[in-house]
């Protein structure tokens, strides 16, 4: 069963599941420039396949101790991004969003960089440049003969 955390309000209790907190963290991560997306490590992927459970907030783990939330988030970073700067911005954005949306206190946001990728549009630009270079090389070779 999914864990829930109670936030006491004047008119009653509000229960927030860790799945909701993980989803908030995942969305907050995707708002940060330099983050391609969230995901888990290879071991995490195997565990997910074996359990046949694909949770919301993929690549995000939420733990609560003494009423404080710790978020572990696995991310894929854009090639060329400054990982320490992107990680700091990610930590701040996750903390701000979780605290403002849930009223819970975030103790830590641990970042796990599990991959690095070139953005899709940059991949297309690289392919186009390579095609142009190949065409120029072919034309030069043809002219020489």
Q: Which of 72, 48, 52, 54 is nearest to 62 (CA)?
A: 72
Please report the pLDDT score of residue 65 as a whole number: 83
pLDDT digits (tens, 9 = 90+) for 37-84: 888 645 445 555 454 544 556 789 999 888 799 999 999 999 999 999
The label of the residue with tokens 């949306």 reads 101
Residue 74, in any domain of the structure:
yes
**Domain CATH for 105:** 3.30.70.1350
Q: What is the residue range of 102's domain?
A: 4-118
Q: Is the pLDDT of residue 1 over 50?
A: no
Residue 126, in any domain of the structure:
no
Burial 111-128 (b: 16+ CB within 10 A, else e): bbebeeeeeeeeeeeeee
Vertex 88: Cα angle to 65 and 31 (nearest 5): 95
Residue 127, in any domain of the structure:
no
- Phi and psi at residue 135, in whole multiples of 5°? -65, -40
Residue 138, in any domain of the structure:
no
Residue 136, in any domain of the structure:
no
Please report the pLDDT score of residue 50 as a whole number: 52
46, two tokens: 């195997």
Residue 129, in any domain of the structure:
no
Count of structural domains, the chain: 1
Distance CA 14, CA 2 (A): 15
pLDDT digits (tens, 9 = 90+) for 97-143: 999 999 999 999 999 999 998 877 666 666 667 677 766 666 666 66
Please report the pLDDT score of residue 106 as a whole number: 97
Residue 125, in any domain of the structure:
no
Beta strands at 12-17 and 4-9: parallel, antiparallel or unpaired: antiparallel
pLDDT digits (tens, 9 = 90+) for 7-41: 666 777 778 888 999 999 999 999 999 999 888 64
Residue 73, in any domain of the structure:
yes
């Amino acid at each position: 069963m999914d864990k829930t955390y109670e936030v006491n309000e004047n008119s009653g209790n509000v229960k927030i599941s860790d799945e909701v907190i993980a989803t908030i963290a995942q969305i907050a991560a995707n708002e940060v420039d330099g983050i391609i997306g969230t995901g888990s490590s290879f071991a995490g992927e195997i565990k997910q396949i074996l359990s046949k459970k694909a949770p919301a907030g993929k690549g995000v783990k939420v733990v609560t101790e003494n009423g404080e939330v710790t978020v572990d988030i696995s991310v894929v970073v854009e090639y060329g991004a400054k990982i320490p700067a992107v990680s700091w911005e990610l930590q701040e954005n996750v903390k701000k969003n979780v605290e403002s949306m849930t009223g819970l206190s975030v103790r830590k946001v641990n970042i796990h960089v599990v991959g690095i990728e070139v953005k899709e549009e940059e991949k297309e630009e690289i392919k186009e440049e390579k095609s142009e270079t190949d065409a120029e090389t072919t034309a030069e070779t043809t002219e020489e003969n």
